[in-house]
Amino acid sequence: MNKRWESFQNSTQYRFVPYIMAGDPCEEATIELSLALQECGAAALELGVPYSDPLADGPVIQRAGMRGLGQNMTLEKTITLVSKLRERGLKIPVIIFTYYNLLLQLGENRFVTLAEENGVDGLLVPDLPYEESSYLREMCSNRHLALISLVAPTTHEDKLHKLSKEAQGFLYCISSLGVTGVRSEFRDGLSAFLHAARLNANVPVLVGFGLSSREQIQQFEETSDGFIVGSAIVNKIESLEKQLMSNREEAIMEFKHFIDSLLPVYSR
């Protein structure tokens, strides 16, 4: 575990982890948005890789992926982008969110080598089953990268126990079934699921998928160690696309105001 993860895991704050798409709407905007998120109190950053056939992404993130692809953003370019983020002052952990097909195309060995060289801290692969992840998990561990585990309300009790205990970085608890996207309400039993995940986890337990308001986030203060926001943030970036390309300073100010309005006071 590197120093960035140590700081993340030892934090006493309610952790905020945002998701944005690399290259949306351009590389420089991604850098400035990432720095703005850190300034607003992000404890870590999920950096998505554009992909033409995402399985877990709703329409908002799919459109962001298409904008990223339009900028010729690839997995390898996303990894090297992290090095640029570090040069510009990003100090929080960065988790690459990508699909397994892109990892296979690049090569798992090349990925972990590049990730270590460019300051990446973790990897999240939503379409890689835990049962088939041991090889990649070992490779990541040897390079001090956290392979983030996903669990859902439908995860069997025995498997939830095992994944919670073995989780690296943080345990990602999915609040809702289906693809990503803003939701107005969450299923019954979610609090019990989060409680069960925390019983055995040796890392912070974060809840994500669908959170889009301060009120929703506050619902989970007692049952989780932090939260992940993706679609609501990506949707805001989409609304600012033109300004981010032409009047970026003003757009970043509006973006930071939006993030501040989203976050509970205690997560900053």
Strand partners, 146: 122
- Cβ-based neighbour number of residue 219 at 10 Å: 17
Q: Which among 24, 46, 121, 225 is annotated as catalytic?
A: 46
Active site residue 46: yes
Backbone dihedral angles phi then psi of residue 55, each to the nearest 5 degrees = -95, -30
Q: Within 13 Å, how many C-alpha atoms sit on residue 134's CB side?
A: 2
Cis peptide before 25 (omega within 30 of 0): yes
CA distances from 68 to 1, 57, 71, 96, 189 (A): 30, 14, 5, 15, 36
The residue behind tokens 């409680």 is 195
Q: Examine the residue annotation and report whether 158 is marked as an active-site residue of this protein.
A: no
- Alpha-carbon gap, residue 245 to 259, rounded angstroms: 20
Q: Which of 24, 39, 57, 238 is catalytic?
A: 57
Catalytic positions, written as ranges: 46, 57
